[in-house]
Amino acid sequence: MKTIKIALIGAGYISNYHARGLQSLPNVEIAVVVGLPIEAARAFADKYQIKEATTDVSSLFGREDIDAVVIGTPNKFHAPYAIEFLKNGKDVFLEKPMAMSAEEGLTIKAAADAGNQLVMTGHMWRFDNDVNFVKDTVDSGQLGKIVKTKGYGIHENWGPAGWFAQKELAGGGALADMGVHAIDTARYILGDPKPAKVYAKIGTYYGNYDVDDSGIIMISWDNGAESIIESGWWQPHMDGPEAATGIYGTKGYANVFPTYLKYKVGNIPGKFDAKLPAKTEHCDQSMYTRQMEHYIDCIRTRKTPVPGLAEGQIILDIVDAAYKSSQTGEVVNLG
């Protein structure tokens, strides 16, 4: 089996998860890591026994010994880097959000389509055991018709610094950082419906930066369900951890994190623990490893990654609509 050679673009926190996932897979080699400053790139390379470290991403665009890339940079660089790699025949994995805006997302798609290259988007909660348990329960019809969901992308008494809190580099704040996890998780559990309407109230209340740190987003889906999403940094309280989701059906309820079901047995309401393996950490390595496994499999088989361009673009459409709704005070129609 051919060894797939990967370039890691970015040597920050998230790249550790990707590196560990990739190095657990057979016939996969991380050939080079890009980071700033060079000391950080070299330290990352030493940590994972990667042979090459550099600060010059442009030197990798046309490298024939690289098959694909994993991009974990500030959001500003997602589209320009992805497009250059795609033009040079490389498959691309992009951390979420896929781009700074829906318009940028379309430019990535155009580049991918032109060269018949693959793009996968890092909405990693689709690979989580708890999320998939609830999705399977919903798909089985056990909960009846799903009426609404409530999801959370909140940091309690904490928020990121650096580029995450700079609009020029991130494009948005807590919604772009945390809210996208909650939105995509709800959408995935619902069977990936299309958004029809978006209404949002978004603001900055907890810090001195030019991005949002608080938001309430309402999404009407084309399957009739409604989703309420809360996003935030530095919140004094959160109703659930990242990607926690409540699913309200006509025959019962499901909750992700903690994961359990509520439904009637013989007309008597009951609560049933999912009895899934305990996590050592909330965002555990296993889902990132499964995410990389799917990416590598798609590279080998040339099948379309899911989540890919389509899933990443819909999240960008929703985020753009939410910011627009909050500015205008009006519902934004997407259907």
Query: 34 near 11, Cβ under 8 Å?
Result: yes
Instruction: Give the model's pLDDT for residue 1.
Output: 86
Task: Tell the CATH topology of 126-281+316-333.
Answer: Dihydrodipicolinate Reductase; domain 2 (3.30.360)
Q: Which of 53, 86, 56 is nearest to 69 (CA)?
A: 86
Structure tokens at 285: 């390595």
Which residues of the chain fall below pLDDT 50? none
Q: Which of 182, 208, 161, 148 is nearest to 319 (CA)?
A: 182
CB within 8 Å of 257: residues ≥ 6 apart: 130, 240, 241, 243, 244, 245, 282
Query: What one-letter code names the amino acid at 306?
Result: V
Q: What is the pLDDT of residues 194-252, one digit of tens each?
A: 999 999 999 999 999 999 999 999 999 999 999 999 999 999 999 999 999 999 999 99
> Cα–Cα–Cα angle for 228, 229, 234, nearest 5°?
140
Residue 99 backbone class (left: φ over 0; alpha: ψ -120 to 50; beta: rest)? beta
Burial class, 17, CB count within 10 angstroms (exposed 0-12 / middle 13-18 / buried 19+): buried
Q: What single string gives the DSSP state of each residue in 210-236?
A: SS--EEEEEEEETTS-EEEEEEEEEES
Class of domain 4-123+286-306: alpha beta
Residue 157 has, within 13 A of its CA and on its CB side, a CA count of: 2
Structure tokens at 104: 């940028």
Instruction: Give the model's pLDDT for residue 335.
Output: 82
* Alpha carbons 294 and 260: distance in angstroms, whole number: 27
Residue 145 has, within 13 A of its CA and on its CB side, a CA count of: 5
The residue ranges of every structural domain in the chain are 4-123+286-306, 126-281+316-333
Residue 136 backbone class (left: φ over 0; alpha: ψ -120 to 50; beta: rest)? alpha
Instruction: Give the model's pLDDT for residue 127.
Output: 98
Query: 225 near 149, Cβ under 8 Å?
Result: yes
